[in-house]
C-alpha cells in the first residue's frame, strides 16, 4: 500500500479569465495533518471545492487511495471517505445537536418515513445505535455537550458549534477530513481548545488524515506535520512549518516581507 492517500496532479481551475489554480501538484500521506496555506485568493478553498465535487476541474486530476476521483459528484466523494467543514457555519440552528450530526451520516441511515413508521422496532434499534455513536463522538470533544444532545444548536457558543460541525463530518468514519478555516469567528483560547480536540481525534489512531486551510499561523505551526504554500494558484513551497516559514519566496508572497 502506497504511503500517499491523496494526490493532485497538475490541478487547474479557470473561472472565465481568472486562473484560481494553475497546475497544482501535491500529495498527502496517510495519517498526516497537512496545512494548505497562502494569501487571500491563492486557491486554497478552490482546491477543496474541486476535491469535493463542487466545481469541475479545468485540467489535471485527483487520485484518492489509488483511485481516480477527478470530477466525481459530491455524493460519490463523500462515499469514498472525504468530508469537509466550511468557512461559514452550515449548521441548522433550530435543530438539535443530534439531528445536525446525523445529517452527516446519510449513507448509513436507511428506511425512509413509511418504512420507519411500519418497522418501528428496527427503527428504534437503529436510532439507539446511531445515538450512541453520535454521543460518544461528541464526548471526545466535550462531556458537557454529550449530555445535551437534544438541545438546539442555536443556543450554543461558537466553539461548540464548530465542534458539532466537525462531529458531523466525522460521524461517517471518513478517511480524509478537510477543515476550512476552523478558527474563523473564535477567540484565541477557543481556537487553542479546538486544536487540542483535533489532535485528540487524530490520536485515536484510526488513520484519519487531515488537510487544514487556516490563516492563523499559530494553529498551523502547532498541529501540522507538513505545509504546502500556494500563491496565485501555484505551489511555491512545501515542507515543515519551520521550513516554509523561513522560505524567502513564502515570506515575500505570504507575509509581505521582501
User: Where do contacts with ligand ATP occur on this chain (CB under 6 A)?
Assistant: 15, 18, 20, 38, 40-46
Nearest Cα neighbor of 37 from 213, 177, 256 is 213
Nearest Cα neighbor of 106 from 78, 77, 144 is 78
What spatial distance separates the first Cα and last Cα of the chain, rounded to whole Å?
43
Specify the length of the chain in residues.
Answer: 258
Choose between 12 and 45: whose C-beta lies nearer to ligand ATP. Answer: 45
Choose between 53 and 201: whose C-beta lies nearer to ligand ATP. Answer: 53
Choose between 40 and 155: whose C-beta lies nearer to ligand ATP. Answer: 40
C-alpha cell at 252: 515575500
Q: How far is the CB of 102 from ligand ATP (least distance, A)?
A: 29
Q: How far is the CB of 221 from ligand ATP (least distance, A)?
A: 18
Choose between 110 and 252: whose C-beta lies nearer to ligand ATP. Answer: 252
Q: Are 194 and 159 in contact (CB under 8 A)?
A: yes
Q: How far is the CB of 185 from ligand ATP (least distance, A)?
A: 14
Grouping H, G, I as helix, E, B as strand and the rest as coil, residue 104 is helix
C-alpha cell at 201: 481525534
Grouping H, G, I as helix, E, B as strand and the rest as coil, residue 239 is strand
Choose between 201 and 230: whose C-beta lies nearer to ligand ATP. Answer: 230
Q: How far is the CB of 40 from ligand ATP (least distance, A)?
A: 4
Nearest Cα neighbor of 164 from 240, 85, 79 is 85
Nearest Cα neighbor of 37 from 230, 258, 253 is 230
Rounded Cα–Cα distance for residues 36 and 138 (Å): 26
Choose between 23 and 152: whose C-beta lies nearer to ligand ATP. Answer: 23
Q: How far is the CB of 18 from ligand ATP (least distance, A)?
A: 5
Looking only at the bridges linking them, the beta strands covering 18-29 and 4-15 are: antiparallel
User: CA distances (Å), 228 to each of 27, 70, 121, 153, 192, in order?
Assistant: 9, 20, 50, 34, 22
Choose between 35 and 43: whose C-beta lies nearer to ligand ATP. Answer: 43
Q: How far is the CB of 174 from ligand ATP (least distance, A)?
A: 21
Q: How far is the CB of 240 from ligand ATP (least distance, A)?
A: 21
Amino acid at each position: 500500500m502506497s504511503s500517499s492517500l491523496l494526490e493532485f496532479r497538475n490541478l487547474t481551475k479557470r473561472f472565465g479569465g481568472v486562473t484560481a489554480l494553475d497546475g497544482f501538484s501535491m500529495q498527502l500521506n496517510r495519517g498526516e495533518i497537512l496545512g494548505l496555506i497562502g494569501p487571500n485568493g491563492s486557491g486554497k478553498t478552490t482546491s477543496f471545492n474541486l476535491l469535493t465535487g463542487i466545481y469541475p476541474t479545468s485540467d489535471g486530476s485527483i487520485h484518492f487511495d489509488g483511485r481516480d476521483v477527478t470530477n466525481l459528484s459530491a455524493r460519490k466523494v463523500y462515499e469514498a471517505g472525504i468530508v469537509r467543514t466550511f468557512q461559514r457555519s452550515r449548521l441548522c440552528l433550530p435543530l438539535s445537536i443530534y439531528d445536525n450530526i446525523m445529517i452527516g451520516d446519510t449513507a448509513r441511515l436507511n428506511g425512509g418515513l413509511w418504512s420507519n413508521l411500519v418497522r418501528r422496532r428496527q427503527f428504534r434499534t437503529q436510532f439507539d445505535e446511531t445515538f450512541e455513536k453520535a454521543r460518544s463522538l461528541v464526548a471526545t470533544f466535550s462531556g458537557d455537550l454529550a449530555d445535551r444532545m437534544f438541545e438546539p444548536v442555536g443556543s450554543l457558543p461558537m466553539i461548540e458549534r464548530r465542534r458539532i460541525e466537525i462531529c458531523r463530518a466525522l460521524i461517517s468514519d471518513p478517511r480524509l477530513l478537510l477543515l476550512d478555516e476552523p478558527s474563523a469567528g473564535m477567540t484565541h483560547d477557543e481556537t487553542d481548545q479546538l486544536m487540542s480536540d483535533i489532535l485528540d481525534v487524530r490520536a485515536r489512531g484510526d488513520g484519519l488524515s487531515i488537510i487544514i486551510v487556516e490563516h492563523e499561523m499559530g494553529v498551523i505551526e502547532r498541529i501540522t506535520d507538513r505545509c504546502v504554500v500556494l500563491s496565485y494558484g501555484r505551489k511555491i513551497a512545501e515542507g515543515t512549518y519551520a521550513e516554509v516559514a523561513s522560505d524567502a519566496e513564502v515570506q515575500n508572497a505570504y507575509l509581505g516581507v521582501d
